[in-house]
Amino acid sequence: MLFTDSAFIGISPTSGHKSFAYAALDRDLNLIALAESDLDDVTAFIAGQSSATVAINAPSGVNCGLVREMTKSKMLTPAQIRRVDLRLAEYELRERGMAVTKTPASVELCSAWVQAGFELYRKLSKMGFQKYPEPEAARLFFETNSHACHCLLAEQVPLARLTLEGRLQRQLILYERGLRIKDAMDFFEEITRYKLTKGILPMDLLYQPDQLDAMAAAYTAWLTALKPEQVSLVGDTKEGTLALPEREWKPKYQ
């Protein structure tokens, strides 16, 4: 399959009044779209692409009790049972030190952003998207986890995503991976003694946390399509597998 005109799209549900942040890259890692929109606008953008690989920063399904089944031979207390109420992919990431969200066993217990993600998966399926891996498909989608992506790219647990330092760190790492986005180091060049004392910071040079999560997902979509040997899969197909942007993993991320 040729990817000359493909878009590599990352989507991250948000907690704001608009449901999703999305970023799109072309084959050369140019940022061709970056926005926050509702479900209809996001899918309309995707529908306008001749071919697309879409990475979604949200669970693709509820947990099926695989981790609980795996640990049932152990004498678990009620508190320990609650700790294993998650999907296998999430369990594997947490074992490596990545504090990812747990997905409950029923849709009704899932938070609003998780349920918004489920609706996005359903809509893409109706649009003819096929689950990765499907090498001959022009339209692919898969699950990723942006926090885990940032951990792997940083080779450690990054600074908190909502902080200035965390945003700078994520943006710089993505820039150094080849994404043609704003260079986070320009932020420091714009700071003067006067601006700092007045609290005037060049925040327009930095992306928002949800946008950075969407970019990390888009970069994973790009790798998955063009350099699949650099991508790893975790989890189980019964509950949803995650594609992540590194083949080699550290035993622990701290």
Residue 54 belongs to domain spanning: 7-62+104-155+210-244
In a domain, residue 94? The reply is: no
pLDDT recorded at residue 135: 66
Structure tokens at 154: 């940083």
pTM: 0.94
pLDDT recorded at residue 80: 64
In a domain, residue 98? The reply is: no
- Alpha-carbon separation of residue 166 from 45, 75, 169, 234, 254 (angstroms): 29, 39, 5, 25, 15
In a domain, residue 174? The reply is: no
State how far the Cα of 22 lies from the Cα of 195, in Å rounded to an integer: 32
HEC profile for 139-196? EEEEECCHHHHHHHHHCCCCCCCCCHHHHHHHHHHHHHCCCECCCCCHHHHCCCHHHH
Per residue of the chain (254 residues), give pLDDT as tens.
445 589 999 999 997 667 999 999 999 999 999 999 999 999 999 999 999 999 999 999 999 999 988 887 665 666 666 678 899 999 999 999 999 999 999 999 999 999 999 999 999 999 999 999 876 788 999 999 999 999 999 999 999 999 999 999 999 999 999 999 999 999 999 999 999 999 999 999 999 999 999 999 999 999 999 999 999 999 999 999 999 999 999 999 99
Cβ neighbours around 110 below 10 Å, total: 19
In a domain, residue 88? The reply is: no
How do 139-143 and 52-56 pair as beta strands? parallel
Coil, helix or strand at residue 7: strand
In a domain, residue 112? The reply is: yes
In a domain, residue 149? The reply is: yes
In a domain, residue 69? The reply is: no
pLDDT recorded at residue 130: 94
State how far the Cα of 19 lies from the Cα of 100, in Å rounded to an integer: 20
Q: Do 105 and 68 form a contact (C-beta atoms < 8 A)?
A: no
How do 20-25 and 7-13 pair as beta strands? antiparallel
Q: What are the residues facing 7 on neighbouring strands?
A: 52
CATH of the domain at 135: 3.30.420
In a domain, residue 25? The reply is: yes
Count of structural domains, the chain:
1
